[in-house]
Amino acid sequence: MFNNVTIVGVGLISGSFALALKQNGLAKNIIGVSRTQTSLQTALQLGIIDEALPLEEAVKKSNLIYVAIPVDATLTIMQQIMDMLSPNQIVVDAGSTKYALCNLLQKHPNRKQFVATHPMWGTEYSGPMAAIKNAFVGSTCVICEKNESDTNTLQTIENVYKTLGMHLVYMDAQSHDTHAAYVSHISHITSFALANTVLEKEKQENAIFELAAGGFASTVRLAKSSPAMWTPIFLQNKQNILEVLNEHISQLQKFKTALENNDAQQLQTLMQHANTIGRILK
């Protein structure tokens, strides 16, 4: 058990992580750090954190520091935190991109005390009000560059995530960002784009709400995600996302061409090929 855990950011991921630590008896005291006082007050009221402190005070007091903020801000904050560390403190991040951060910290003298992780769980909501219990059960957590972390430090964080009910996957940071572009980042771009398409063409919003069925609602669900969080993700992982986006545009063009040519066979072939993803996603 950790006596004191600091969560930097008190939103969906960090808030849910804090609730899970308490629920599983892994932390006695949770300290919250945020640039937004309103978020800290809400997190206190909801029982997500036990106290709120400035970053330096919180780090000095903590055994574990968990950083879950937009990935551009993470680069600056993590550098500050790593410079403050005393021996035996552990730092973990939960960002959706890993290469830029791992590259930044590669030669830091306290690098062994850092574990780069990405819990592959989330919703379209943000802020402390979005935090929920049992959030991570059954989900996957990616741990990157595990050989760069101290063995005992790594094992401690592995045990934490396993206790929270997560399945662990290991890969290098660059591979993570490539795979994340395919399974997560392109999904968000597609959802944002589809929402904008419908909003542009359908000026009568009531018609959207009246006709929207489950398929449409589930497809555009991610369009409600926070732009403040996703803009830096897209920019940090730009090259991988552009590669996937070009392929996605190519696939859309195939459907467009088939429709223009009234080619029922090609439409069926495209959809049958897409159906094979059911072998992977069950």
Please say whether the beta carbons of 222 and 96 come within 8 A. Answer: no
CB burial string 30-66: b at 16+ within 10 A, e below: bbbbbeeeebbebbbeeebbbebbebeebbebbbbbb
All CATH 3.40.50.720 domain ranges of the chain, comma separated, are 2-172
Q: Which of 173, 7, 194, 5 is nearest to 96 (CA)?
A: 173
pLDDT at 182: 94
pLDDT at 191: 94
pLDDT at 207: 67
Please say whether the beta carbons of 208 and 233 come within 8 A. Answer: no
Q: Which of 52, 48, 42 is nearest to 22 (CA)?
A: 48
* Residue 190: CB atoms within 10 Å: 17
pLDDT at 280: 76
Mean pLDDT across the stretch 93-112? 97
**For 251-269, how does the pLDDT look when each residue is reduced to its tens digit (9 = 90+)?**
999 999 999 999 999 999 9
Q: What is the mean pLDDT of the chain?
A: 94
Place of tokens 């007091």: 61
Q: For the residues of 77-135, what is the DSSP string, one character each?
A: HHHHHHHHPPTT-EEEE--S--HHHHHHHTT-TTGGGEEEEEEE---S--SGGG--TTT
CA–CA dist 103, 74 (Å, integer): 13
2-172 in CATH: which number? 3.40.50.720
Q: Which tokens sit at 210?
A: 């009246």
Please say whether the beta carbons of 114 and 83 come within 8 A. Answer: no
pLDDT at 212: 65
pTM for this predicted structure: 0.91
CATH architecture of 176-279: Orthogonal Bundle (1.10)
All CATH 1.10.3660.10 domain ranges of the chain, comma separated, are 176-279
| Residues written for the chain | 282
Please say whether the beta carbons of 5 and 27 come within 8 A. Answer: yes
**For 176-222, how does the pLDDT look when each residue is reduced to its tens digit (9 = 90+)?**
999 999 999 999 999 999 999 888 777 666 666 666 666 777 788 89
CA–CA dist 97, 116 (Å, integer): 10
Mean pLDDT across the stretch 46-66? 97
**For 113-151, how does the pLDDT look when each residue is reduced to its tens digit (9 = 90+)?**
999 999 999 888 899 999 999 999 999 999 999 999 999
pLDDT at 201: 74
* Residue 80: CB atoms within 10 Å: 12
pLDDT at 282: 67
